[in-house]
Chain A
Amino acid sequence: MPSGWESQITAARGKVLALLLHRGIDIVAAEDAVAIAIVSALEQWRSHPPANPEAWLMTVAWRKALDLRRSDRRSSPLTDLESVAAPENEPMLDISDHLPDERLRLYFLCTHPALEPTVQCPLMLQLVTGMTVEQISALYLVPAPTMAQRLVRAKRKIRDAGIQPRLPSASEVHQRVPPVLDALYGLYFSEWQGIDSPHQALELAEILADLLPGEAECLGLAALISFCESRRDARQGPRGEFIPLDDQDQRGWSLREIERAESYLERAAKLQAMGRYQLEAAIQSAHTQRLRQGSPSWATIVRLYDRLLMYAPTAGFAIGRIGAVLKAEGPAAAIVELDRFESLHPEVADSFQPCLVTRAHCLWQLGQFEEAKTYARRALTLTNSESEQTYLRMKFEA
């Protein structure tokens, strides 16, 4: 089977599921129907390639859902589907007309406040991208059986408590948006191979920004992801190694994406409701100053990190800030900050990879090459990303 189909299946998955829900199929049955349709696709497309893969999946899933409904009438409390039963040789169901709203409904369904908060993002990842329980549990550092149980319970609650897939009303939007943004952010930055999750996340973030132009953080997230996407080609070197932002060849940046990102960020700023995604995007924007002035203002970036840390005091951002301090004030100042960070967070000091890498950079710049290598080697053992490992080996000759 051509490899392109697998990504098409993954991309279509969320759309098909959302439409089944829209047609009154309950979440548990809809997920089963989609799974069966995908298995059939994998079997049949080899010999009979479909003209329109999305429509094929939708048609087969819909038929399967109706079959499931007929064989188990007790689980059909919502609507009577008999009247819309699919005839034989029906035309393929074209699903492009119903987007993008249907998929967003699915997102808001997964992040309904009646569901336990810790299950909301995992549920989105499972239903929208088809990630397996094993992959999701690895991402959230939760044992797989625990995650599986949470997901099953959430889906049963959606079905049995009658939580409907719908867009929130104007008065609820502000409250309902943050978990959706968090999930899209997680989707974009998850290092999960096998689906084009960055592309899905960007597409959905843009849809969300279009539908909710009054939500500053929606625009902020669309800006952030657009900035990151603009550098996609420049992020990887010829040997597949990761290239940090500051070492990237800016000729590889997509000016079109950067422009889009800037326009999202400007629209967000006009709404005067600052938040973490806008600040993260603003840091990205500050980096693009290189295009105009040769180098970004590192002092500005440090200040932006200070503000970001007020909204999202994470270890990752704290180290990001120290990386900017290294550029703005030099390695000695950065080491002082690293020491302070480690004394405040002794539990992560030895095991947090960005912390070790930043210290290696500081020591390298101070000419303490052997010490730098020691830290780089320890950092090597803490990442599974091949591109990062290659980068560390090349940079520090580790």
Chain B
Amino acid sequence: MTYSLIFYEAPADFQKRESAEAGAYWGAWSAYIDDLSDSDVLVRGVGAGLQPPDTATVVRGTQIHDGPVADTREQLGGFVAINVESLDEAIAWAKKAPVSAEGAVEIRPVLSPPQE
């Protein structure tokens, strides 16, 4: 099955990107993505890291305003898609993500394309 791993990061995580810890932060993420890629579970061409939530804009109907959508502590930081056999395997990969204890990873099965 294909699952999307959606990474939610805390404000402190986003701040790391610009701080003295930036090297360790980006290093951990690129090691994780390499690991997914080397294990041949990563769906290539899907997924991205995202700019911090203060760059977000929300369109709701005809209204446009400063975003993000939900005013929560954890915000969407990025996502990937992986191909694994079961939810348990997806959970195992989610646990390896370098998301801090204040963040979270949501796992969602990806809709399969309609069959002929």
Which A residues are within 8 Å of any B CB, using their own CB? 73-74, 77-78, 112, 114, 160-164, 166
Contact = CB atoms under 8 A, between A and B. Distances in A.
Interface in B59-107: 85-88, 90-91, 107
B114 A74 contact: yes
Nearest to B92: A169
A166 B87 contact: no
Per DSSP, chain B at the interface is mixed
A162 B1 contact: yes
B87 A114 contact: yes
B115 interface: yes
Contacts, number: 30
12 contacts: A74-B114, A78-B1, A112-B87, A161-B87, A162-B86, A162-B87, A162-B90, A163-B86, A163-B87, A163-B88, A164-B86, A164-B88
Contacts of B85: 162, 164
A209 to B, nearest CB: 24
B3 interface: yes
The 3 closest A-B pairs by CB, nearest first: A164-B86, A162-B1, A163-B87
Contacts of B3: 162
Which bucket holds chain B's interface residue count? 10 to 19
B1 A77 contact: yes
B109 interface: yes
Dominant secondary structure at the A interface: loop
A162 B109 CA distance: 8
B109 A73 contact: no
B115 A73 contact: yes
Nearest to B111: A160
B112 A77 contact: yes
Interface string B17-33: 00000000000000000
Contacts of B91: 114
A212 B88 CA distance: 20
Query: Which of B87, B107, B115 has the most C-beta atoms of chain A within 10 angstroms of its own C-beta?
Result: B87
A299 to B, nearest CB: 47
